[in-house]
């Protein structure tokens, strides 16, 4: 591995440590990031030019290599670890990941604007860790895409409890109670922000219903 790549992995480890990732998780992320850098080097792809499609190609390649080494495919959730490590590496190398999408319509423009401002608020005003920001942003983008594609760019100010219930119904099938509770908490955060910035007429966050988690 070239010195510059080694330096990048060393910097990634320092960033993950500063963000309070456990040593095991940080080690796994760095190991998969190192494998991804080797993959890019063999194909003469600069890390500054990596695209989302190329990350997808690599994950398919990694699954194939796992099958060859172990004689079986990896578990259904295995890809989340290498993907998270690679995304952390790309955020460090490119300054932002995923790359900023290009707006193709008015709904895109509004969604990108809200998401950019929301991310700044989460980072600078609330001071959240990167892992929390990533999860909150994913839910925010998903909800805004769903709402604006269904009802148009003027629909946020007119949103009702019924819209929130429909979204939660859409997100809930086949998920555990804990996962649905996490969705609800992330959605509440976005809704509070939308009302704070006067993009919704009322604060809908109290109307997001999450299942109770009973500890036995």
The pair of structure tokens assigned to 214 is 């009973």
Summarised one tens digit per residue, pLDDT across range 83-102 is: 989 999 999 999 888 777 77
Report helix angle 52-70 to 80-94, nearest 10.
140
| Per-residue pLDDT, 3 | 59
Torsion of CA 204, 210, 212, 215, to 10 degrees: -120
CATH topology of domain 106-207: DNA polymerase; domain 1 (1.10.150)
| Per-residue pLDDT, 4 | 84
Question: Where do we find the tokens 């401002």?
Answer: 117
| Per-residue pLDDT, 117 | 94
| Per-residue pLDDT, 134 | 87
Report the 10 Å Cβ neighbour count for 58: 21
Domains of the chain, residue spans? 3-94, 106-207
- Mark the ranges of the chain whose per-residue pLDDT is less than 70: 1-3, 212-216
Report the 10 Å Cβ neighbour count for 89: 26
| Per-residue pLDDT, 194 | 97
> Cα separation of 189 and 143, whole Å?
12
Which one, of 138, 162, 139, lies nearest residue 150 by Cα? 162
Does 98 sit behind a cis peptide bond, omega within 30 degrees of 0 on the bond before it? yes
């Amino acid at each position: 591995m070239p010195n510059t790549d080694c330096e990048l992995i060393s910097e990634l480890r320092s960033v993950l440590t500063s963000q309070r990732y456990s040593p095991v998780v940080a080690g796994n992320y760095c190991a998969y990031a190192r494998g991804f850098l080797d993959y890019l080097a063999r194909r003469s792809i600069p890390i500054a030019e990596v695209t989302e499609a190329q990350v997808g190609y690599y994950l398919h390649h990694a699954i194939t290599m796992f099958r060859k080494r172990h004689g079986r495919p990896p578990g259904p959730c295995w890809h989340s670890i290498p993907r998270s490590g690679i995304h952390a590496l790309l955020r460090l190398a490119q300054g932002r990941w995923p790359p900023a999408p290009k707006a193709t319509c008015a709904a895109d423009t509004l969604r990108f604007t809200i998401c950019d401002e929301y991310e700044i608020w989460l980072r600078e005003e609330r001071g959240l860790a990167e892992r929390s920001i990533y999860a909150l942003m994913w839910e925010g983008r998903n909800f805004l895409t769903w709402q604006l594609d269904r009802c148009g760019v003027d629909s946020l100010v007119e949103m009702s409890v019924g819209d929130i219930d429909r979204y939660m119904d859409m997100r809930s099938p086949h998920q555990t109670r804990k996962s649905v509770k996490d969705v609800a908490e992330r959605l509440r955060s976005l809704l509070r922000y939308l009302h704070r910035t006067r993009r919704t007429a009322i604060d809908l966050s109290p109307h997001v219903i999450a299942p109770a988690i009973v500890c036995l």
